[in-house]
Amino acid sequence: MTFDLTFIGHIETPFQSLGDCPNNVQADGPRCDIVLGSRFAQGLLGLETGQTILVLYWLEGVDRNLLIQHRGGRSDSIPRGVFALRSPHRPNPIAAARVQIEAITDGRVKVRGMDCLNGTRLLDIKPDTK
Amino acid sequence: MTFDLTFIGHIETPFQSLGDCPNNVQADGPRCDIVLGSRFAQGLLGLETGQTILVLYWLEGVDRNLLIQHRGGRSDSIPRGVFALRSPHRPNPIAAARVQIEAITDGRVKVRGMDCLNGTRLLDIKPDTK
């Protein structure tokens, strides 16, 4: 089924190839910017430095049909279902990262340790819940 | 931009109208079933009772253009940006709920306290991260 997703911005990371990307978000990783498109920047009103957010983003170039996989792609690991893994290869390649806001300026949310390619397209930001 | 989302199943809750739905997930809420389509049930392999998962699902009938909103729809509250709220009205109506698995049987993941309508379409399940 086809649905209309609105890309609301992009994510700037130091990672220029998939091989550079870490397997998961790292709290002490490099600085990254979550950049809202000009139309969407007003939607940041009320977010604050120190707050934890859930960031949703769209992963490109993945295999959407791998229902059983090996963790980290290691063939000697126990096979698991895709829904028991954080693998980017999933029926809907929507990634979710929980990160803490270090600063917000001019439609840019500064965080650390995103795990995605530079230029990854942004779908949503939500305040984190416990 | 139009993207192809694959609905992998649905969520069974006691809520038959939007007015019945609680504002957020409730750990002690009513029992709900996350039901995988037959093609996708094998993707649950390795998930365990007691584990916390992040569930992504698609919200219908929302306003995708409300960038500034009042929390809980109360006009006397301070206006906030959509990305500082968990409101269902957002540019991409993808909801995220963190819930604990109570049991898994026959492609059904039993949890408590989902906040969505009965029959809500399921996009993804991921193991939760700290």
For residue B103, what are the β-bridge partners?
B110
Phi-psi region of B75 (alpha: psi -120 to 50; beta: other; left: phi over 0): alpha
Instruction: Please give the pLDDT value at position B77.
Output: 84
Average pLDDT over residues B44-65: 96
A43-75 pLDDT, tens digit per residue, is 999 999 999 999 999 998 899 999 999 887 777
Within an 8 Å CB–CB cutoff, is residue A27 touching chain B? Answer: no
To the nearest whole Å, the CA of A69 is away from the closest chain B CA by: 9
Model pTM?
A: 0.95
CATH C-level class of A9-127 = mainly beta
Instruction: Please give the pLDDT value at position B9.
Output: 98
Q: What is the mean pLDDT of chain A?
A: 94
A104-129 pLDDT, tens digit per residue, is 999 999 999 999 999 999 999 999 98
Q: Which residue of A has its CA nearest to B109?
A: A83
The continuous run of DSSP H or E covering B43 comes out as: none
ipTM of the complex in this document: 0.94
B13-44 pLDDT, tens digit per residue, is 999 998 899 988 999 999 999 999 999 999 99
Q: Which residues of A6-32 are buried (b: 16+ CB within 10 A; e: fewer)?
A: bbbbbbbbebeeeeebeeebeeebeeb
DSSP type of residue A59: P
Instruction: Please give the pLDDT value at position B124.
Output: 98
Instruction: Please give the pLDDT value at position B125.
Output: 98
Within an 8 Å CB–CB cutoff, is residue B127 touching chain A? Answer: yes
Average pLDDT over residues B77-102: 96
Q: Which residue of A has its CA nearest to B128?
A: A86
Predicted confidence (pLDDT) at residue A36 exceeds the cutoff of 80: yes
Phi-psi region of A107 (alpha: psi -120 to 50; beta: other; left: phi over 0): left
Name the B residues in 38-67 with CB < 8 Å from any A CB. 40, 42-47, 53-54, 56, 58, 64, 67
Query: What are the extents of the domains in chain A?
Result: 9-127
Q: Which residue of B has its CA nearest to A4?
A: B2
For residue B3, what are the β-bridge partners?
A3
Contact assignment for A3 to B8 by CB distance below 8 Å: no
State whether residue B104 is helix, strand or coil: strand
B95-129 pLDDT, tens digit per residue, is 999 999 999 999 999 999 999 999 999 999 999 98
Contact assignment for B40 to A67 by CB distance below 8 Å: yes
Cβ neighbours of B89 in A, within 8 Å: none
Of A113, A110, A76, the C-alpha closest to A97 is A113
